[in-house]
Amino acid sequence: MSTATDRRPCVLLISPGILKWTDMDFGLPHLVSIGGYLLQRLGERSVRVEILDLNYEGTDHQHLQRTLDGLGPLVCIGLSCYSSFDYMRVLTLGRFLKRLYPDVPLVTGGYHASALPGDVVFEGGPFDAVIRGEGERSMAELVETLLGGGRVEQPFVDGGVVEDLDTLPPYRWDLLDRYWPRAHDIGRKFQIYLSRGCPYRCTFCMERAKSGYQWRAYSAERALDELRRLSRRTDLSRWVVNLADPLFGLKRSWRRTVLEGIVREGLLPRQYWTLTRSDDLGDEDVQLLAAARFSIGIGLESGSPRMLEIMQKGNKPDAYLAAAERLATLSRKHGLNWAANIIVGHPGEDEVSMRETLAFVQRLFTSAGETCGWLSIDPFRLYPGAHVHEAMQDYSARFGTVFHHPAWWKSWYDGPFRAEHVDPSRALDFEGRVRFMYDHYPPLVAQILERFRGQGRDVDRVFRRSIDEQARQMSPATRDAILARARRAERSPPAESGPATVLRFPVGLHVRDPWVRRREEAVRRLLEAGVLRSELLIEAFLATPPERYLGEAEADAMLRADGRTLPRVEEGEPPPWVPFHALALGLEALAPCTGDRVADLLASNGYVAALLAHAVGDAGDVVAVAPGGKIEALRLRASLGDRQPITVQGGRPLVAVGLEGPFDGLWIGAALPRLPRPLRALLRDPDGRAVTFLGPRFRAQDLVCLTRRGDDLRERVLGRARAAVVAGPGGWLAAR
Over the chain, what is the mean pLDDT? 90
Write the CB contacts of 117 (distance below 8 Å, at least 6 apart in sequence).
Answer: 130, 132, 156
Report how far residue 711's alpha carbon sits from residue 713's, in angstroms, rounded to the nearest whole number.
7
Q: Which of the four pLDDT bands, split at 50, 70 and 90, describes residue 498?
A: very low
Per-residue model confidence as pLDDT tens digits over 511-524: 677 888 888 889 98
Report how far residue 292's alpha carbon sits from residue 287's, in angstroms, rounded to the nearest whole number.
9
Question: Which amino acid, residue 679?
Answer: L
The SS3 of residue 665 is strand
More confident of the two residues 731 and 324: 324
- DSSP character string of 86-115: GHHHHHHHHHHHHHH-TTS-EEEESHHHHH
- Which CATH number, 3.90.550.10, 3.40.50.20, 3.40.50.150, 3.40.50.2300, labels domain 514-721? 3.40.50.150
- 403 closest CA partner among 412, 384, 288, 413: 384
Crossing angle for the helix pair 460-473 and 430-451, nearest 10 degrees? 150
Which stretches within 21-81 are classed as H helix?
29-42, 54-57, 61-69
Q: Is the pLDDT of residue 526 over 80?
A: yes
Per-residue model confidence as pLDDT tens digits over 180-220: 998 887 667 999 999 999 999 999 999 988 887 899 999 99
Q: Is the pLDDT of residue 383 over 80?
A: yes
The SS3 of residue 307 is helix
Averaged pLDDT, 49-54:
94
- Find which of 248-257, 515-524, 719-728 is predicted with most confidence, using mean pLDDT: 248-257
Q: Is the pLDDT of residue 3 over 70?
A: no
Domain boundaries, the chain: 514-721
Beta-bridged to residue 163, according to DSSP, are none
Res 456: pLDDT: 80
The SS3 of residue 600 is strand
Averaged pLDDT, 156-163:
94
Report how far residue 723's alpha carbon sits from residue 578's, in angstroms, rounded to the nearest whole number.
7
- DSSP character string of 115-174: H-HHHHS-TT-S-SEEEEE--HHHHHHHHHHHHTT-----SEEEEE--S-GGGSPPP-GG
Q: Are 111 and 210 spatial neighbours (Cβ–Cβ below 8 Å)?
A: yes
Q: Which helix (H) or strand (E) holds 391?
A: none
Q: Which of the four pLDDT bands, split at 50, 70 and 90, describes residue 728?
A: confident
Q: Is the pLDDT of residue 612 over 60?
A: yes
Rg (CA), the chain: 29
Q: How far is CA 223 from CA 12, 166, 253, 286, 417, in A?
A: 27, 9, 13, 20, 38
Averaged pLDDT, 495-500:
51
Q: Is the pLDDT of residue 736 over 90?
A: no
Q: Are 538 and 527 spatial neighbours (Cβ–Cβ below 8 Å)?
A: yes
Averaged pLDDT, 151-176:
95
- 254 closest CA partner among 363, 358, 357, 166: 166
More confident of the two residues 687 and 653: 687
Q: Are 614 and 642 spatial neighbours (Cβ–Cβ below 8 Å)?
A: no
The b-or-e profile of 346-371 (16+ CB within 10 A means b, else e) is: bbbbbeebbebbbebbbebbeeeeeb
Q: What is the DSSP letter of 535?
A: H
Res 563: pLDDT: 64
Q: Which of the four pLDDT bands, split at 50, 70 and 90, describes residue 642?
A: confident
Q: Which of the four pLDDT bands, split at 50, 70 and 90, describes residue 1?
A: very low
Share of the chain above pLDDT 70, in %: 95
Report how far residue 225's alpha carbon sits from residue 223's, in angstroms, rounded to the nearest whole number.
5
Q: Is the pLDDT of residue 72 over 70?
A: yes
Q: Is the pLDDT of residue 467 over 80?
A: no
Res 499: pLDDT: 46
Averaged pLDDT, 388-416:
94
Nearest-5° Cα angle at 138, 136 to 140: 70
Q: Is the pLDDT of residue 23 over 70?
A: no
Per-residue model confidence as pLDDT tens digits over 554-590: 999 999 887 667 777 777 788 889 999 999 999 999 9
Averaged pLDDT, 102-124:
95
Res 492: pLDDT: 64
Res 528: pLDDT: 78
| CA end-to-end distance (rounded Å), the chain | 69
Nearest-5° Cα angle at 98, 97 to 101: 85
Q: Is the pLDDT of residue 476 over 60?
A: yes
The b-or-e profile of 445-463 (16+ CB within 10 A means b, else e) is: beebbebbbbbeeebeebb
Averaged pLDDT, 45-65:
86
